[in-house]
Amino acid sequence: MMRLLEDKVAIVTGSGRGVGRETALLFAENGAKVVITDIDEGPAKEVQEEIMKSGGDAIIVCGDIMLEEFPKRVIAETISQYGKLDILVNNAGFTIDALIHKMTDDQFQKVMNIHLLTPFRLIREAAPYMRECAKEEIEQGVVNHRKIINVSSVAGLKGNVGQANYASAKAGVVGLTKVVALEWGRFNINTNAVAFGLIDTRLTQAKETGEELNGERMGIPEKVRQSFISKIPQQRSGQAREAAEGILYLASPMSNYVNGQVLQINGGSYT
């Protein structure tokens, strides 16, 4: 059976849970060496163990991805362990919802930092191992595609009540994606985004029973969640594995002529 990412090295941020976890596992199934990042060591170790038990290869770089030094550390540890970087998936994130007249500066800025500033920093830090390496290859007549996949959201394309911070950040992710695609496309670096609709993760669970993160309860009110589902043509939320499969497509050779695009994974158009 052909493995789409044989011998590729991939960083997947926020890969201890949810879509990030499924992406890391799916990448490993397809032959990639995976760098797992998460703020919590426990879930990250579980993912690593699952990959290793299946004969795969993975390392963990834990910490707060929003810290200025973290992108430097994760790139450095990736190169130290594997000597190269082929795929970068900017997936890590969380939500802090509030109506705009009740949203604080801190709530707005935290969400902007995790979803937009952090991917920018990681891409910039990856430049020597993606852009500069590609320049040398091109001079030698070698074509080697590298991939950057940024996780956006339908909220960034169409807005969403109570998510001025999240929608703004995810719209910014689309802009960032298109700029990198324009600047780095000549170096055989494909930069694309996925825009998820309602995918079952801890961020979209019923808020009434959701986990807490950074002092905020995650999730969305159950009535709102059901309202979203009623507007989806397929009449259901998506699974994390289905979301990861879209990321795999953009990371694979099947997307070598896809650049600067936003792949919506949402069960159909929202009204």
Q: Looking at 82, 129, 166, 270, which residue is catalytic?
A: 166
pLDDT of residue 216 exceeding 70, the answer is no
Q: Give the position of tokens 């902007």.
A: 112
Region 172-186 average pLDDT: 98
Instruction: Write out pLDDT tens, residues 47-63.
Output: 999 999 999 999 999 99
In the chain, what are the domain boundaries? 9-199+238-265
H or E element at residue 27: helix 18-29
User: Does residue 166 carry a catalytic annotation?
Assistant: yes
pLDDT of residue 35 exceeding 60, the answer is yes
Tally the C-alpha atoms within 13 A of residue 152's C-alpha that lie toward its C-beta.
31
pTM to 2 decimal places: 0.92
Are the C-beta atoms of 22 and 89 separated by less than 8 Å?
Answer: no
User: The domain 9-199+238-265 belongs to what CATH superfamily?
Assistant: NAD(P)-binding Rossmann-like Domain (3.40.50.720)
